[in-house]
């Protein structure tokens, strides 16, 4: 049995990948905060012939404090801001057959996942799409477009909702809300530190005794690397966030298949979503990584290779469908049934 077909192996693999990416993200953020302090420490040591003259990492402490406050505000307000930005309306009293079916399916999948029923939202957009947001299972929300309700049957809708419940159960909603907050913080800090560096000179040299030797060279190297990182930080952080997002999509597909025991239905739903031509106009770039399919219709998400691995928010849909069909094949084979050809 291949790793792509075995959903439990796929879940374990994607969890490992996500932990690795998140650890790298934290190290990157720590470098942004304390890299400048390291450069200052080395420069001060060079000027004082190795004696400790820079004792407190004020750059790292200030940046970390600002980042923590900004991230906490984004963490608390982020999910509601995402829903507001898409024009989503909460489904409190379903009226049509499609709305009642959606409400029932969300309840069924919540029971299957062993979680509280998320709040259900509708987005008036003809393009089929869906996403989950929130900080945890207690605050989770699932939003689907009216276009999705109009193009899938009940089993396919179960697959899509199970995929989104997978995001909730795997705490993807918490992870992606946190990462989106950190990316926003890094962009703000990069811009702010850039203005500070452009406005002040002598960051390494300073005044007083002329510095020289290996410590000064090390200070200059660290400082240059730190400045380059600050300049590239928004781009680098977005690439890292997209990498985590891609891994979580594979994991949510596998979890959705586990909840419904019907990976073929999710594969069929993804096929219908993929063949729809129009982008999801109500969902903008800030929420694109949350959706089951790229709402912006970018070609990079259709490709494989290193460029797509760097720039795509979603894995290639064809690859996801192939994996799900492989799961369905293995499921039928394990049950002693003859898979359809």
Burial 210-235 (b: 16+ CB within 10 A, else e): ebeeebbebbbebbeebbebbeebbe
Residue with tokens 């800090």: 189
Q: Measure the CA–CA gap between 169 and 175, rounded to whole angstroms.
A: 11
Pairing of strands 141-145, 119-123: parallel
∠252-255-260 over CA atoms, to 5°?
125
298 vs 280: CA distance, rounded Å: 11
Question: Within 13 A of 226's CA, how many CA atoms are on the CB side?
Answer: 25
Q: What residues contact 12, with CB distance under 8 A and at least 6 apart?
A: none
CA dihedral 203, 208, 210, 213 (to 10 degrees): -60
Which string of DSSP letters, residue by residue, matches 53-96?
-----HHHHHHHHHHHHHHHHHHHHHHHHHHHHHT-EE-SS--S
As given in the structure block, the two tokens for residue 241 are: 């966030």
Q: What is the C-alpha separation between 136 and 159, in angstroms, rounded?
A: 21
Enzyme catalytic residues: 164
């Amino acid at each position: 049995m291949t790793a792509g077909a075995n959903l439990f192996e796929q879940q374990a693999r994607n969890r490992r990948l996500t932990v690795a990416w998140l650890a790298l993200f934290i190290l990157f953020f720590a470098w942004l905060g304390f890299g400048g302090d390291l450069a200052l420490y080395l420069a001060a040591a060079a000027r004082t012939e190795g004696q400790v003259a820079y004792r407190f990492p004020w750059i790292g402490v200030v940046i970390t404090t600002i980042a923590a406050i900004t991230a906490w505000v984004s963490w608390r307000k982020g999910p509601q801001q995402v829903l507001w930005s898409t024009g989503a309306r909460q489904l409190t009293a379903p009226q049509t057959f499609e709305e009642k079916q959606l409400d029932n399916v969300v309840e069924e999948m919540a029971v299957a996942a062993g979680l509280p029923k998320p709040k259900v939202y509708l987005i008036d957009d003809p393009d089929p799409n869906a996403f989950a947001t929130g900080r945890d299972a207690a605050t989770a929300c699932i939003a689907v477009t009216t276009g999705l309700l109009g193009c899938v049957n009940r089993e396919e809708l179960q697959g899509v909702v199970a995929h989104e419940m997978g995001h909730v159960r795997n705490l993807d909603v918490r992870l992606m809300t946190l990462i989106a907050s950190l990316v926003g913080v890094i962009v703000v800090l990069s811009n702010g530190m850039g203005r500070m560096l452009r406005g002040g000179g002598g960051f390494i040299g300073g005044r007083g005794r002329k510095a020289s030797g290996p410590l000064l060279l090390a200070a200059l190297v660290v400082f240059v690397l730190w400045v380059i990182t600050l300049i590239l930080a928004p781009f680098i952080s977005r690439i890292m966030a997209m990498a985590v997002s891609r891994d979580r999509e594979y994991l949510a597909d596998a979890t959705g298949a586990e909840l419904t025991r019907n990976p073929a239905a999710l594969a069929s739903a993804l096929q219908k979503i993929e063949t729809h031509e129009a982008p999801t106009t109500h969902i903008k770039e800030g929420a694109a990584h949350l959706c089951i399919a790229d709402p912006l219709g970018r070609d990079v998400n259709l490709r494989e290779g290193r460029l797509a691995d760097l720039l795509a928010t979603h894995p290639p849909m064809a690859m996801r469908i192939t994996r799900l069909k492989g799961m369905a094949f293995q499921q039928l084979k394990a049950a002693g049934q003859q898979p359809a050809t």
